[in-house]
């Protein structure tokens, strides 16, 4: 059983940025400069920052590039933004997004910062807004301190309970990786949904696009009625949605405090979508070892890792990973054979 995904997730590091730009850069955008300079200029001129996050191989990005190159867009961007492109095939640009806790689920995506560097809006965009007017309307809302996603979140936190605004704010909390606010928002949204509406397209999209935690009535209905959803929606999308939500839960910082009962429910959810026992074990082993170590159950953690590999020799890279966690007290000696 390989742990490459697990090791990548656990060991991911942020490298120092050396900013790159798109080949034949769209003339509506400014030439890229060091990121700290971009934010200094924006604050000095009291003008928000707009990034188009793209991939060179993305067909939707290529289609957007043609629209973004229109003279009307250039005039609009020059007047309203410091506008740049971020090529997500470049590691340093992904590192920047991670440093700002920004998750990009698809490209192209529009990211807008306030002049003071606060994230105002994160918006994956599609065909519906790929026009001069569509882009301008979207960016007008994104730079509006009374209408952007960040403001919708503030309004929710101040007590507003508008369902449409809450969905937008909840999506923002997912893309800005704010799990705690996302959980609170989603729980409040679920309370607004009648049980007979749990299998509607809106409810399924809420699970698919917004939800970061499985502990709510909507997800529990979803995971225990998978066949109903598979009969209405794409079967692979249903299974992927279930796995994504469960994995988001177990990779959250809160997961180390989950009860054994909650962990078992999460495993049962993966079983419900057809994962085999060893596949489920691979998704939980790292978390369970951390929980053991939090409880000072070092021997139990060592036994857990040995059992995971079924008594076989642990591949060298994976052993190196585990040995960073499992050492003899006061020593660098690994506890694994």
User: Mind listing the domains of the chain with CATH numbers?
Assistant: 15-147 (3.40.30.10), 179-275 (no CATH), 285-337 (no CATH)
Average pLDDT on 198-218 reads: 96
**pLDDT given for residue 24 in this prediction:** 54
Enumerate long-range contacts of 40-44, CB under 8 Å, 24 or more apart: 41/82, 42/82, 42/113, 42/115, 42/117, 43/115, 43/116, 43/117
CA dihedral 195, 201, 202, 203 (to 10 degrees): 40
Q: Rounded to an integer, what distance in angstroms lies between the CA atom of residue 74 and that of residue 135? A: 12
* pLDDT greater than 60 at residue 46: yes
* pLDDT band at residue 309 under the 50/70/90 scheme: very high
* pLDDT greater than 70 at residue 242: yes
Return the half-sphere exposure (C-beta side, CA atoms, 13 A cut-off) of residue 334.
Answer: 14
**pLDDT given for residue 27 in this prediction:** 86
**pLDDT given for residue 249 in this prediction:** 95
Cβ atoms 120, 168 nearer than 8 A:
no
Please name the helix (run of DSSP H) or strand (run of DSSP E) that holds residue 85, with its range, or none.
strand 82-87
**pLDDT given for residue 332 in this prediction:** 86
| Cα–Cα distance list, 182 to 137, 179, 243, 256, 297 (Å) | 26, 5, 18, 19, 32
Average pLDDT on 241-267 reads: 95
Mean residue pLDDT of the chain comes to 91
Please name the helix (run of DSSP H) or strand (run of DSSP E) that holds residue 111, with its range, or none.
strand 109-113
Which of 202 and 5 is assigned the larger pLDDT? 202
* Angle (nearest 5°) at CA 252 between 251 and 253: 120
The whole-model pTM stands at 0.84
**pLDDT given for residue 311 in this prediction:** 82
Q: At which residue do the structure tokens 């700290």 appear?
A: 36
* pLDDT band at residue 142 under the 50/70/90 scheme: very high
**pLDDT given for residue 304 in this prediction:** 96
Percent helix, strand, coil in the chain (nearest 5)?
60, 5, 35
| Cα–Cα distance list, 324 to 30, 275, 310 (Å) | 44, 29, 21
Average pLDDT on 268-287 reads: 96
* pLDDT greater than 70 at residue 335: yes
Average pLDDT on 3-9 reads: 32
Average pLDDT on 42-64 reads: 96
**pLDDT given for residue 12 in this prediction:** 32
């Amino acid at each position: 059983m390989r742990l490459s995904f697990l090791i990548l997730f656990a060991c991911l590091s942020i490298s120092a940025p050396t900013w790159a730009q798109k080949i034949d850069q769209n003339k509506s955008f400014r030439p890229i400069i060091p990121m700290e300079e971009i934010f200094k200029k924006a604050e000095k001129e009291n003008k928000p920052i707009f990034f188009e996050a793209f991939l060179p191989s993305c067909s939707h990005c290529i289609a957007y590039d043609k629209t973004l190159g229109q003279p009307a867009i250039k005039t609009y961007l020059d007047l309203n933004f410091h506008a740049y492109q971020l090529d997500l095939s470049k590691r340093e640009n992904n590192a920047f997004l991670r440093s700002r806790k920004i998750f990009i689920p698809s490209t192209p995506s529009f990211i807008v910062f306030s002049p003071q560097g606060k994230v105002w809006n994160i918006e994956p965009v599609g065909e519906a807004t790929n026009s001069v007017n569509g882009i301008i309307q979207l960016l007008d809302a994104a730079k509006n301190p009374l209408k952007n996603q960040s403001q919708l979140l503030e309004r929710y936190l101040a007590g507003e309970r508008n369902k449409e605004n809450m969905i937008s704010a909840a999506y923002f909390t997912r893309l800005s990786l704010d799990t705690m606010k996302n959980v609170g928002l989603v729980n409040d949204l679920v309370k607004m949904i009648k049980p007979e509406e749990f299998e509607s397209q809106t409810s399924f999209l809420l699970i698919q696009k917004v939800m970061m935690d499985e502990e709510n009535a909507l997800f529990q209905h979803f995971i225990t009625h998978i066949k109903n959803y598979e009969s209405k929606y794409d079967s692979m999308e249903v299974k992927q949605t279930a796995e994504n939500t469960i994995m988001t839960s177990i990779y959250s910082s809160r997961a180390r405090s989950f009860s054994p009962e909650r962990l078992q429910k999460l495993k049962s959810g993966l079983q419900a979508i057809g994962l085999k026992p060893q596949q489920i074990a691979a998704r939980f082993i790292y978390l369970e070892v951390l929980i053991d170590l939090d409880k000072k159950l070092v021997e139990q953690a060592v036994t857990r890792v040995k059992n995971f590999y079924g008594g076989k020799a642990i591949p060298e890279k994976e052993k190196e990973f585990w040995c960073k966690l499992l050492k003899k007290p006061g020593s660098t000696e690994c506890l694994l054979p």
